[in-house]
Structure 1
Amino acid sequence: MRSRQQLADELEALRAVEQEYRLLLDESSDPIFAFFPDGTYRYVNRAFAQGVGRTPEHIIGHRIWDVFPQDEADKRFAVVRTVFAEAETKVIEVRVPNPVGDRYYLTTVKPIIDEHRNVISVICVSKDITDRKHMEQRLAHMAQHDALTDLPNRTRFSDRLSAAIAGARQDRSGFALLSLDLDHFKPVNDNFGHLAGDRLLKAVAQRLLAGIRETDSVGRIGGDEFLILLPHLGSAEEAKRVAAKIHVLLNDPFELPEAGPVRIGSCIGIALFPDHGGSELELFKHADAALYHAKRHGRNRIVLFEAGTMPVPGISLPA
C-alpha cells in the first residue's frame, strides 16, 4: 500500500506533467481550443486568441457567438454539437475573417470522453492552410482566365453564356453576343515585337471593360479575338449602338512605349438570343459568321448575323 508521501509525490508529478502539456498547448503555433456543451470556450491557446484578435482571458468563459458573427458561429458550432452528440471526430475547413486578409484552417474536432463514455468536452486543433487555399484559388482563377489580360477565357465565358441563356429563358428576355477581332494587330506584333503586341492587347482589354456595363462580360478567346456578352438587350439596334461605342473606343490611338501612338480598329459580329440561336454553340457560330462576313468585306465594320446569307464556320465549345 502506498504511503501518503508516495501519493503526494505522484499527484505532484501529475501536476507537473499537466503543466508541461498545458505549456505545450499554450505555445503551439497551431490554434487549439475547447468547448463546453453550450458553446462556451473552456480553453483557448495564444495562437487561437491572436487569430481572432483577442486575449485568451477575453475568450475563455465566453460563448462562440461572442467571438464570431452569428452565421459563422452557427455553422461552426453545428459541427461541435454533432461531435458532442455522436462522440466521433470530425474534420472541417473554416475561414477566419481578418482585416489584413482572411485566414483558412483545417480543424480537427475531437471529443474528450470520461470513464463512463460521456463526452465532457470537445477539443479543436487547427492547421493553417491559408497558403494552400490561396494557391488553389490562384490555380482555379488561372484555369478560367486569360493569363495576359486576366479576362475570362473561353471556358469561363462559356459558363457565363450558359447562365445568360438560362436567365433569358426564365425572364423571356433577349441578349446579344458580340465576336470581335482587331484590325491591324499583326503589323504591331511584326514591326515592334511581341511585348508591344502584349501591351496592346492589355490596353484593348481595359478599354473594352471601360466601355460596357457592370452586368456585361468580356472574354479573350485567343490571339486578338474577344467575346462580349450583353444581357437584357431588347433589340438589334441596341446591340449595334453598343458595338458602335466599342468601335469608337478602339479607333482612338493606343500609346505604346515601343511604337508611340498606334491605330488599329476592329470588326464586330453580332448574334442575338433567341433570334439567332437558342444554344451556346449556335450563338458562337453565328456571331463568328457575322464577324467573318465583316472581315471579308473590309475592316472596321459591324455586322449583324443574317441566316442564309453568311457561311457558318465550324466551331466547337470548350470541353
Structure 2
Amino acid sequence: MPERFSPVRLFVTLLALIFCIEVAMMLALHYLFANGTSVWAEAIADATVLTAVTSVFVWRLFMRPLRFALMSETAQAKAVMDAAAEGIITVDERGRIESFNHAAQRMFGYEAAEALGKNVKMLMPEPHASNHDGYIARYLRTGEARILGRPRELTALRRDASGFPIELNLTEIRLGGTRRFTAIIRDITERKQAQERIERLANYDSLTGVPTRALFFDRLHQAVNLARRGRSGLALLYIDLDKFKAVNDTLGHDVGDELLKSVAGRIRRRIRESDTVARLGGDEFTVILPKIPGREDAAVVAGKIIDALSAPFFLGGQKHEVRVGASIGIAVFPADTGDADALVKAADVAMYKAKQAGNSFRFYAVPAPSGITPP
C-alpha cells in the first residue's frame, strides 16, 4: 500500500523551519554584538552548524520512533488485510490497483506483483471491462454513485478467463486531495450452487429429473398466456400408467422407481424440446404441447407415447421383463376451456374415460347443456 504520511518528509520540513529560525537568531545576535552590523555569511554558517547538531537530536528523540511506529502500523494493517477471508483491493482515481491482498490473489489467480499498477478492469468480463473507465470518470465528474456503499452480486474474471460470481462492496476513501476506492470481494460460488440445488429440488423430481407439480403449473400458466396472446392452440396430456401398482406390489419399490425413471425417459424422447413433461406424483405424468395445430396432432403424440410405454421394460439389472401401458386424457386450449387450472381438470376427466378402455387415449368432451342429449 502506498505510504500516505512520510516521516522523512516531515523531518526535512522541520529542519528547514529550524534552520530559518536559527538564521534569524544568528542575524539578531550578530547585529547586537557586532556594532549594529549584520554579517549574513557568518549567520548562515552558524545556523547551519546548529541545525546539523539539532537534527541528530530531533531524529533520535522524535522522528525515528515515529517512523518505526508508522512502519509497524503499516505492517499490522497489511497483516490484517492478508489474513482476511475476503479479497481486498484498493484502486486509485484512474482505476489502477494499489493493493491486492492474499485472498484476492487466491480468488483471481494473480500474484500481487502481477496486479499492482494494472487497471482493475482486468478482473472484469465484458462489457463491464470496456465501460469501467467511463464509470469512474462519470462518478468523479458528477458524484453519481451506482454501486458505492451497496453490496452487489456481479461476475468477476479469473486469470484463466473463467467467470465466477462475487459479492462486491465498494467504498471511497478521501485523503487530502486524492481519492481511493476499496473493494471488499467475497466469492459466492458455493452459495450460488447451494441455491441452485435448492431450486432444483423444489422444481424437479428427484427420481425422474422432470419438473414437479409446482414447476408444471408455472409453465402451464405461461403456455396458456402465450397461446392466448398468440391466438395459437395448446394441448395438455394427462398420463396415468396401467398396471403400475402390480409392479410395485410384486417386484418392490426399487423396481417401481426404476420403471418410473424409464417411463419419464421414453416420454421425453417422444416429444419436442419445446414441450414439457412433468410428474405430478405417483405414476401420473403430464405433457404440455404448446403451438399444437389441432387435435389430430395431439392424437399423434399421444399414440407415440402409448406405443413407447407398451413396449417391454427390462428392469432390475435385466432380470425382470415388465409390461405396462398408459391411459391418456387430452384437453385442448381454447376449444375445451380458456383457463389453465380448468384445462388440467378436463384432461384428468378424459384420462379416466381412457382408463375404462385401458392403454388408450381420449379427448375431453365438453358436457352438453342441461336437457340436451348429445348425438
TM-score for the superposition, normalised by structure 1: 0.85
Among residues 108, 116, 120, which one is paired with 2:169 in the alignment? Answer: 108
Cα distance change of structure 1 residues 233 and 97 upon mapping to structure 2, 3 Å threshold? farther
Q: Distance in 1 between matches of 2:264 and 2:161?
A: 30
Farther off after superposition, 140-149 or 261-270:
140-149
**Mapping 1:156-175, distance limit 5 Å:** 156-175=215-234
- For the pair shown, the structure with the greater C-alpha radius of gyration is 2
Shift of the alpha carbon at 1:80? Answer: 7.7
**Mapping 1:58-97, distance limit 5 Å:** 58-73=114-129, 85=143, 89-96=149-156
Q: Distance in 2 between matches of 1:82 and 1:197?
A: 64
- Say yes or no: does 1:51 pair with 2:111: no
Cα distance change of structure 1 residues 256 and 45 upon mapping to structure 2, 3 Å threshold? same
Among residues 90, 93, 98, which one is paired with 1:42 in the alignment? Answer: 98
Q: Distance in 2 between matches of 1:263 and 1:56?
A: 66
Q: Tell me, yes or no, if the aligned pair for 2:125 and 2:163 is still in contact at 8 Å.
A: no
- Say yes or no: does 1:3 pair with 2:58: yes
Note the residue ranges of structure 2 that are not aligned, 5 or more in a row: 1-13, 15-56, 369-375
TM-score for the superposition, normalised by structure 2: 0.73
**Mapping 1:247-286, distance limit 5 Å:** 247-257=306-316, 260-286=320-346
Shift of the alpha carbon at 1:101? Answer: 8.3
Q: Distance in 1 between matches of 2:132 and 2:327?
A: 53
Shift of the alpha carbon at 1:75? Answer: 8.9
Q: Tell me, yes or no, if the aligned pair for 1:92 and 1:107 is still in contact at 8 Å.
A: yes
- Say yes or no: does 1:30 pair with 2:86: yes
Question: Residue type matched to 1:8 in 2?
Answer: R
Shift of the alpha carbon at 1:67? Answer: 3.0
Shift of the alpha carbon at 1:252? Answer: 1.3
- Please state which structure has a larger fraction of its residues in helix: 2
More contact order relative to length (CA 8 Å, sep ≥ 6): 1
Farther off after superposition, 64-73 or 94-103:
94-103
Among residues 219, 227, 241, which one is paired with 2:300 in the alignment? Answer: 241
SS state of the match for residue 202, structure 2? helix
Q: Distance in 2 between matches of 1:79 and 1:142?
A: 40
Cα distance change of structure 1 residues 244 and 38 upon mapping to structure 2, 3 Å threshold? farther
Question: Residue type matched to 1:242 in 2?
Answer: V
SS state of the match for residue 270, structure 1? strand
Question: Residue type matched to 2:351 in 1?
Answer: L
**2:203 is matched with which residue?**
144
Cα distance change of structure 1 residues 289 and 77 upon mapping to structure 2, 3 Å threshold? farther
> CA RMSD, aligned part only?
2.9
Q: Tell me, yes or no, if the aligned pair for 2:149 and 2:171 is still in contact at 8 Å.
A: yes
Question: Residue type matched to 2:166 in 1?
Answer: Y
Shift of the alpha carbon at 1:216? Answer: 0.8
Q: Tell me, yes or no, if the aligned pair for 2:121 and 2:132 is still in contact at 8 Å.
A: no
Farther off after superposition, 132-141 or 188-197:
132-141
Note the residue ranges of structure 1 that are not aligned, 5 or more in a row: 310-319
Percent of aligned positions with the same letter in both sequences? 33
